[in-house]
Amino acid sequence: MKLLRDYILIFAAIGIVGALLINNIILPLYVNWNDEIRVPSLTHTDLAKGGQILSERKLEWAIKDTIYRRDIPGGFIMDQYPEAGQMVKENRKIQLTISLPPEKLEMPDLIAITERQASIALDRLGLVLMEVLTDSSDMYERTVVIDQSLAAGLPVAPGDSISLTVSLGKRNLKKTMPNLLNKGLDEAVKVLEFNGFTIGAIQYTQNSDLLPKTVVSQSVAPGKIFPQERVINVDLMITDDF
C-alpha cells in the first residue's frame, strides 16, 4: 500500500514538473524561439483585430496590396507575408493584402443603345442585369433600351442589380383623315399637321358663295385610316381671291 502511494506521489510530481516545463519553457520557445516570434495566421481576419494580434506579439504591419472581392466586405485581410507559422524577429513588419469596400460608380445612360450593348456596359462595371422587360415604342426600334431601373448618374456599386426595358418596336397606331371642307387654308393646314398628315399641292377654283382660300375639295376622303408612320400628302382645292 505504501509502495502504491509512493508511485502516485512520484507520478504527481512528474506531472507537475512536466506542466511547469510546458508552460514556462516549451510554449515560450514555440512562440519565441531563439529570440524570434512565430507569425500568427491573419487571413480572413478584419484589419483591426489582425493589428491587435500582431501588436500583442510585438510585430508591426503594413498594407502591401489591396484587392476587391464582391463577396467580402472591405477591411479584411486576404493574404499575408511572411506566411503563418514562420519565425521572424521582433518588430518585423508583416505585409498584408486587404479587401477594398465596393467602389462607388455612376450609373451609365443605357437609353437608345441595344440590349447587347447595355449588357456589356453593365458587365464591365460589375453590375448585374437582373431582368429584361419589353414594351412597344414609337420612338425606338426593336431590341433598343427604352428604360432602366436606375437613372443615369446615380451612384451604384459592383454587384448591384439593374433591370432594363427593351423596345418591341412601334405600336400598331393609326391616324384618320380629318374633314377639311369649308375650312380656311390656314386652319386646314394646322388640322392636317396635328393629325399627322402633310399639305400637298394647292389648286384654286372660283366660288362666289364662299370666302377666299376656303377648302372646297381634298385629295384624300375624310375618315380614311392610315398607319401612323406612313407619310400622306394631302392636295387641296381652295377658292380663289375675287
Residue that is last in its domain, among 167, 185, 210 = 167
On whether both 4 and 51 belong to a single domain, the answer is no
On whether both 48 and 88 belong to a single domain, the answer is yes
Residues in the chain: 242
Q: pTM above 0.75?
A: no
For the cut 90, the answer to whether the pLDDT of residue 241 exceeds it is: no
What integer is the mean pLDDT of 75-84?
92
* pLDDT tens digits, one per residue of 113-154: 999 999 999 988 888 999 999 988 878 888 999 999 999 999
Structural domain count, the chain: 4
For the cut 80, the answer to whether the pLDDT of residue 231 exceeds it is: yes
On whether both 181 and 202 belong to a single domain, the answer is yes
pLDDT of residue 224: 94
Residue 46 is classified by DSSP as B
* Grid coordinates given for 136: 412597344
Residue 138 is classified by DSSP as S
pLDDT of residue 229: 75
Residue that is last in its domain, among 101, 131, 151 = 101
Backbone phi, psi, residue 205, to 5°: -145, 160
On whether both 43 and 89 belong to a single domain, the answer is yes
The β-bridge partners of 203 are 237
Residue that is last in its domain, among 125, 141, 167 = 167
Gyration radius of the chain's alpha carbons: 42
Query: Do 225 and 174 meet the contact criterion of CB atoms below 8 Å apart?
Result: yes
Query: Do 228 and 175 meet the contact criterion of CB atoms below 8 Å apart?
Result: yes
The β-bridge partners of 218 are 236
On whether both 22 and 3 belong to a single domain, the answer is yes
CATH of the domain at 146: 3.30.10.20
Written as one letter, the residue type at 105 is L
For the cut 50, the answer to whether the pLDDT of residue 31 exceeds it is: no
Name which of 168, 175, 181 is nearest 231 in CA terms: 175
Write out the residue range of the structural domain in which residue 4 sits. Answer: 1-31
Q: Do the strands 128-135 and 161-167 form a parallel or antiparallel pair, or are they unpaired?
A: parallel
Report the alpha-carbon distance of residue 86 to residue 13 in Å, rounded: 35
The band of 99, judged by pLDDT with boundaries at 50, 70 and 90, is confident
On whether both 187 and 229 belong to a single domain, the answer is yes
Report the alpha-carbon distance of residue 160 to residue 125 in Å, rounded: 10
